[in-house]
Amino acid sequence: MSIIGIRVHTIREQWPGALAIVVALIFWECYAAFITRNSFLLPGPADVLLAFISLAEKGILLTDFEVSMTHFAIGLILALIIGIPIGIAMGWNRRADEFLNPLIEILRPIPPLAWIPFAIIWFGFTPVSAGFVIFMGAVFPILINTYAGFQGVSRIFVEAGRMLGCTRTLDQIRYIAFPAALPSVVSGIRIATGVGWMCLVAAELFGVSNNGLGKDLWFYYDLHQMDSVVVYMLILGLIGLAIDMVFRYYIDRHFLKWRTGEVA
Amino acid sequence: MGKLEILNLNQSFPRDDGTRLAVLENISLEVQDEEFVCILGSSGCGKTTLLRLIAGLDTAGSGRVILDGEEIRGTSPKVGMVFQEYSLFPWRSVIDNIAFGLEMRGIAKDERYRIAERYLNLVNLSQFRTSYPSELSGGMRQRVAVARALALDPVLLLMDEPFGALDAQTRNMLQKELLDIWEATKKTIVFITHSVDEAVYLSDRIIVLTPRPGRICRIFPVDLPRPRDRTSPEFAKVRRGVLDLINQNCAIQ
């Protein structure tokens, strides 16, 4: 069932999934209430809900959200600005590929968090510093998928384009290779949002800002308020899910609708 | 106008052992304006190579291709091409595929849709205007490809086994439609095929190529009036003539 491009599940389709969540919540509450009986070791769902209400009343969650989204946006936008053009150059031009490929292959396996020391040295305790760590996580999936997408552009499309007057390199990239590679580019961006989001908590850990979802997760850990820590964990998870949903239900359907009839 | 002259065309490709593999040898041919010519040959005889040279997609080892007195040195809007494989842009709707060449030429949106619409009607696909290629059958895709090539109003239309992947009925239907379009638009058509039946049904003249390296073995005029009846004795006679010729003179030596 689909309304304005968003898939709406009926209760019937959804109940097994909902049941699993309810069972997990009951199990969690019982375990916390009767077995561990220690809200530091394992806060129960009720503790978490209360902590959420008190955090929400302080108005701190919205600030955290804004700060984290700023870090995330800096990282992702930088990754797009740098990853896509380099991916295009390498995927389209064999010389650029030969030139840059070894460098990329050496840099790529470095875990994004290993860049934290240099993030601090180069950018100080600023949002750009957190953005840089997220960038290091997000740029390679975007670059590699753009590269693969451009390499996979069928020669027949380029030649058909040439026969129809699309002869300049920039036009061939813009009108033929880019749209042909777009599904691959988009799935690269989707992977990048996931990886970038996972870098967020660590990127905020070293004190680039006074707020932020990751920053305050650590803050409440230091206060030993584990119920608040769980609140932040769940919020991080839900936002990550929301970002992925945007790709699954919006971007794929609106920008790649031509693929619906194709065998991928 | 659409007079094509091919002069002493040779093409060869480098092989791994350093020698060169001759693909086309000394091809000279003249195609008149508004003529429908089929190039017939077995697979690997260089038919497609020849067509790519005429299209300006590749450069010949030696020799020249001249269209209306001008040498072809690259792709040109005067030459349209329908490829063997599906070459429609899958991310563009049918109408946007047909309008692509006009868009590249910088023609304003209203104008290019108006022209594209006309060619969409010509191939009888108006109800599929906004469909994507993946939603069309193989035959419909090739009809769109014909419309797309014609939209720039080329003088010469090149077709590289365009109906090769289609089933027999669809293929016969598209051959008939192609002849109607040819009558209506008066293009010069160079059509590649390995089907004798197709060549006899469509062409004014059949150019028979030898297997590798491709040389012109014989030029076979087909004088039957159109529309041609595939089941008629005259048709069968021409077919037999072409087949005998291939078997006796143009086979692998």
Q: Specify whether A105 is located in the same domain as A166.
A: yes
* Nearest-CA distance A189 → chain B (Å): 19
Position A195 in a domain: yes
Contacts with B81 from chain A: Cβ below 8 Å: 160, 163
Q: Of B118, B132, B56, whose CA–CA distance to B88 is shortest?
A: B132
Reading the block at residue A52, the tokens are: 């959420």
Quote the longest CA-to-CA distance of chain A.
Answer: 75
Model confidence band, residue B114 (pLDDT cutoffs 50, 70, 90): very high
pLDDT 10s digits, B3-39: 999 999 999 988 888 888 889 999 999 999 999 999 9
Looking at residue A4, its pLDDT comes to 44
pLDDT 10s digits, A102-149: 999 999 999 999 999 999 999 999 999 999 999 999 999 999 999 999
Q: Specify whether A10 is located in the same domain as A84.
A: no
* Nearest-CA distance B188 → chain A (Å): 16
**Per-residue burial over B17-46, b = 16 or more CB atoms within 10 Å of its CB, e = otherwise:** eeeeebbbbebebebeebbbbbbbbbeebb
Q: Specify whether A135 is located in the same domain as A7.
A: no
Position A76 in a domain: yes
pLDDT 10s digits, A154-195: 999 999 999 999 999 999 999 999 999 999 999 999 999 999
Asked whether the beta carbons of residue B89 and residue A157 sit closer than 8 angstroms, the reply is yes
pLDDT 10s digits, B209-244: 988 788 898 899 999 998 899 999 999 999 999 998
Domain enclosing residue A14, as ranges: 1-37
Contacts with A252 from chain B: Cβ below 8 Å: none
pLDDT 10s digits, A198-216: 999 889 988 788 899 999 9
Q: Of B88, B89, B91, B96, whose CA–CA distance to B130 is shortest?
A: B96
Q: Specify whether A18 is located in the same domain as A51.
A: no
Distances (CA, A) of A163 to A71, A160, B113: 46, 5, 19
In angstroms, what is the C-alpha Rg of chain B?
Answer: 18
Chain A residue whose CA is closest to B57? A159
The percent of residues in chain B predicted with pLDDT above 70, rounded, is 99
Looking at residue A9, its pLDDT comes to 58
Q: Specify whether A170 is located in the same domain as A194.
A: yes
Asked whether A133 and A203 are in contact (CB, 8 A), the reply is: yes
Position A206 in a domain: yes
Q: Which domains occur in chain B, in start order?
A: 1-78+156-165+176-253 (3.40.50.300), 88-153 (no CATH)
To the nearest 10 degrees (0 to 180), the angle between helices A116-123 and A178-205 is 80
Looking at residue B105, its pLDDT comes to 93
Position A18 in a domain: yes
Looking at residue A249, its pLDDT comes to 81
Position A66 in a domain: yes
Asked whether the beta carbons of residue B83 and residue A261 sit closer than 8 angstroms, the reply is no
Whether the per-residue pLDDT at B122 is higher than 70: the answer is yes
Q: Summarize the confidence of residues A70-88 as an average pLDDT.
A: 97
- DSSP string covering chain B: ---EEEEEEEEEEE-TTS-EEEEEEEEEEEE-TT-EEEEE--TTSSHHHHHHHHHTSS--SEEEEEETTEE--S--TTEEEE-SS--S-TTS-HHHHHTHHHHHTT--HHHHHHHHHHHHHHTT-GGGTT--GGGS-HHHHHHHHHHHHHTT--SEEEEESTTTTS-HHHHHHHHHHHHHHHHHH--EEEEEES-HHHHHHH-SEEEEEPSSSB-EEEEEE--PPSSP-TTSHHHHHHHHHHHHHHHHHSS--
Q: Specify whether A223 is located in the same domain as A117.
A: yes
Whether the per-residue pLDDT at A1 is higher than 50: the answer is no
Q: Summarize the confidence of residues A92-99 as an average pLDDT.
A: 95
Position A264 in a domain: no
Q: Specify whether A12 is located in the same domain as A135.
A: no
CATH classification at residue A188: 1.10.3720.10
Cis peptide before A117 (omega within 30 of 0): no
Asked whether B95 and B117 are in contact (CB, 8 A), the reply is: yes
- Number of domain units in chain A: 2
Asked whether the beta carbons of residue A163 and residue B105 sit closer than 8 angstroms, the reply is no
Q: How high does pLDDT run on average in chain B?
A: 92
Looking at residue B177, its pLDDT comes to 94
Strands A6-7 and B4-14: unpaired
* Nearest-CA distance A8 → chain B (Å): 25
Contacts with A163 from chain B: Cβ below 8 Å: 55, 57, 75, 79-81, 149
Position A13 in a domain: yes
Touching check for B85 and chain A: CB below 8 Å? yes
Looking at residue A264, its pLDDT comes to 42
Asked whether A176 and B103 are in contact (CB, 8 A), the reply is: no
Position A117 in a domain: yes
Q: Specify whether A74 is located in the same domain as A2.
A: no
Q: Specify whether A150 is located in the same domain as A33.
A: no
Distance CA B165, CA A146 (A): 32
Touching check for B100 and chain A: CB below 8 Å? yes
* Nearest-CA distance A252 → chain B (Å): 13
Q: Specify whether A227 is located in the same domain as A250.
A: yes
Model confidence band, residue A217 (pLDDT cutoffs 50, 70, 90): very high
Touching check for B83 and chain A: CB below 8 Å? yes
Looking at residue A10, its pLDDT comes to 61
Q: Specify whether A96 is located in the same domain as A33.
A: no
Q: How high does pLDDT run on average in chain A?
A: 90
Q: Summarize the confidence of residues A19-34 as an average pLDDT.
A: 92
Helix H, strand E, coil C: the string for chain A is: CEECCEECCCHHHHHHHHHHHHHHHHHHHHHHHHHHCCCCCCCCHHHHHHHHHHHHHHCHHHHHHHHHHHHHHHHHHHHHHHHHHHHHHHHHCHHHHHHHHHHHHHHCCCCHHHHHHHHHHHHCCCHHHHHHHHHHHHHHHHHHHHHHHHHCCCHHHHHHHHHCCCCCHHHHHHHHHHHHHHHHHHHHHHHHHHHHHHHHHHHHHCCCCCCCHHHHHHHHHHCCCHHHHHHHHHHHHHHHHHHHHHHHHHHHHHHCHHHCCCCC
Q: Specify whether A12 is located in the same domain as A88.
A: no
- Among chain A, residues having any CB pair with chain B shorter than 8 Å are 156-157, 159-167, 171, 175-176, 179-180, 182, 257-262
* Nearest-CA distance A257 → chain B (Å): 8
